[in-house]
Amino acid sequence: MSLRYISARISQQIDEELMSSIGAFSIDQLMELAGLACAQTLATVYPKRTYPRVLVCCGPGNQGVAWFAMLTTVRLTEVVEGGDGLVAARHLGMFGYTPTVYMPKPGSKDIYQRLAKQCQNMDIPIIPPSNDVEDLKKALASSDVILDAIFGFSFKPPMRAPFDTVLPLLSDSRLPIVSVDIPSGWDVEKGNELGVGLNPNVLLSLTAPKEGSKDFTGRHFLGGRFVPKSLDAKYGLNLPPYPGFEQIVELDSIPKPNTDI
Amino acid sequence: MSLRYISARISQQIDEELMSSIGAFSIDQLMELAGLACAQTLATVYPKRTYPRVLVCCGPGNQGVAWFAMLTTVRLTEVVEGGDGLVAARHLGMFGYTPTVYMPKPGSKDIYQRLAKQCQNMDIPIIPPSNDVEDLKKALASSDVILDAIFGFSFKPPMRAPFDTVLPLLSDSRLPIVSVDIPSGWDVEKGNELGVGLNPNVLLSLTAPKEGSKDFTGRHFLGGRFVPKSLDAKYGLNLPPYPGFEQIVELDSIPKPNTDI
């Protein structure tokens, strides 16, 4: 039985169950483990001696709300996207990297504020919000690798400013890119059909890989070591075993597809 | 400059700062990372092939409230002790161990309920609350190693039932013991002066080692890779570097004392 690549709908259902009164996880817990997995993936592929300066790009703070609003069991006020990036930036700082956070459209929610404050307490610079990309250009010129936490699986075109300008700039920088969950600009099910998405070197899928990532050809990791066996079985995920006490597992050797029904 | 062994007062101040509006951490975040560090410590010393069955012993759920009630900046409703044990049990389950939770005096707070539910969702048995120690005896007979998350640094004698019976039973079992933060029954500053405490093989200090652990002679680890450099400097902790992207560091090779002022 091979690893299942899941649809947007299934992905939403799993997230919903994890955070419902049944799964009992708080967003703080899941985001902490997801962000740690992001940082570990980057650190695994891009050692800090050679790639010390990480530009952590975070998406708009209200991205995730639309579909979450459909879920009655989830705490609506706590939902964020791009928060993974802030948690990852903090852990990368702890690992000895020199991260910089680029977050042009920060969310107003409490959790965003707290995660950003945690970065500031570690002297991690956060580029002030702006529609102007001059600051981004400067940051790219002094970075060694990019962590792409801009769009997650709830991205729908068209791409709004400043991200329509940001994504080509990231690509043109020719810096290596590590994307979180789904490369920014890709459709969660159809992949990079429109051709407006990033082409990352590394992808970290969270919980389970998404259908849209089936054609991804770089190094592919899985994170989110918090899915109970019962949930794995219910959705037929066939999640691979994680090594030792790691929070990530590389999918290279695992046979692909078995598409979503 | 050597690692500082801190007093109860300093330990409280650091926790307070981490969770204040300045530090901006939630208890969920800190407990997740602390519990993960507990699980990783146990897994480092006691591999699952030889020690698959872990008895995770958790303390009374209202232990931490007394001193926390003195702190105005901390969210009083969220404070728990022993929660580390529940988080560790879940991660140990994820690592492939077979944990059992012994929690004779569970707390009523929401976070306790959620952490316990997360264990139940992973089919981790929780021995029903009781003052009777028969269940504990049975569990000990079918365990390979103990994770001691019973009393943390706010423990003050006298030891109440059933823990006055529980601690000798754990010692008499002759199973290896991994203690969290300070061995249960030890004074956070004076150590095992009264002689009623456990004698663990392994200790995981959280954030910084406590004065009472100076005479501990087993394998000693440090966890809590979330202390910003500014806080380290403010309290002169001289925390050692953690290896790679691990959440724990072994203190063996680090010179001792430099007592609290």
Structural domains in chain B, CATH included, are 8-250 (3.40.50.10260)
Q: How far is B201 from chain A (nearest CA, A)?
A: 21
- The percent of chain B in helix, strand and coil, each rounded to the nearest 5, is 35, 15, 50
Q: How far is B12 from chain A (nearest CA, A)?
A: 19
Q: How many Å apart are CA A70 and CA A74, to the nearest integer? A: 9
Contact A245 B40 (CB under 8 A): yes
Q: Which two three-digit tokens encode residue B140?
A: 């000990």
CB of B125 within 8 Å of a chain A CB? The answer is no
Q: Which two three-digit tokens encode residue B129?
A: 């609350």
A67 pLDDT tier (thresholds 50, 70, 90): very low
- Mutation target for B interface from A25, A29, A98, A112: give the one with most B CBs within 10 A: A29
pLDDT, tens digit, 9 for 90 and up, residues B80-122: 567 899 999 999 999 999 999 999 988 778 888 999 999 999 9
- Quick check: A155 pLDDT over 70? yes
- Quick check: B230 pLDDT over 50? yes
pLDDT at site A106: 86
Q: Is B112 exposed, middle or buried (0-12, 13-18, 19+ CB in 10 A)?
A: buried
How many C-alpha atoms does A233 have within 13 Å on its Cβ side?
Answer: 5
pLDDT, tens digit, 9 for 90 and up, residues B122-159: 999 999 888 789 999 999 999 999 999 999 877 878 88
The single residue listed with the structure tokens 């080692």 is: B209
Lowest mean pLDDT among A7-11, A35-39, B107-111: B107-111
The predicted complex's ipTM stands at 0.90
Cα-trace Rg, chain B: 17
Q: Which two three-digit tokens encode residue A119?
A: 């970065």
Q: How many Å apart are CA B218 and CA B200, to the nearest integer? A: 7
The single residue listed with the structure tokens 């003052």 is: B131
Q: Which two three-digit tokens encode residue A231?
A: 């949930």
Q: Is A82 exposed, middle or buried (0-12, 13-18, 19+ CB in 10 A)?
A: buried
A253 pLDDT tier (thresholds 50, 70, 90): low
CB of A190 within 8 Å of a chain B CB? The answer is no
Nearest to B114 among A24, A95, A225 (CB): A24
Residue A230 pairs in a beta bridge with none
Cα-trace Rg, chain A: 17
Q: How many Å apart are CA A163 and CA A171, to the nearest integer? A: 12
Q: Which two three-digit tokens encode residue B25?
A: 């951490």
Residue B34 pairs in a beta bridge with none
Q: Is the pTM of this model over 0.90?
A: yes
Question: Beta strand B202-206 with B219-223: parallel, antiparallel or unpaired?
Answer: parallel
The single residue listed with the structure tokens 């099910």 is: A189
A112 pLDDT tier (thresholds 50, 70, 90): confident
Residue B3 pairs in a beta bridge with none
Residue of B nearest to A23 (CA): B118
pLDDT, tens digit, 9 for 90 and up, residues B25-57: 999 999 999 999 999 999 999 999 999 999 999
Contact B91 A245 (CB under 8 A): yes
- Quick check: B166 pLDDT over 90? yes
CB-CB contact of A52 with A98 (8 Å)? yes
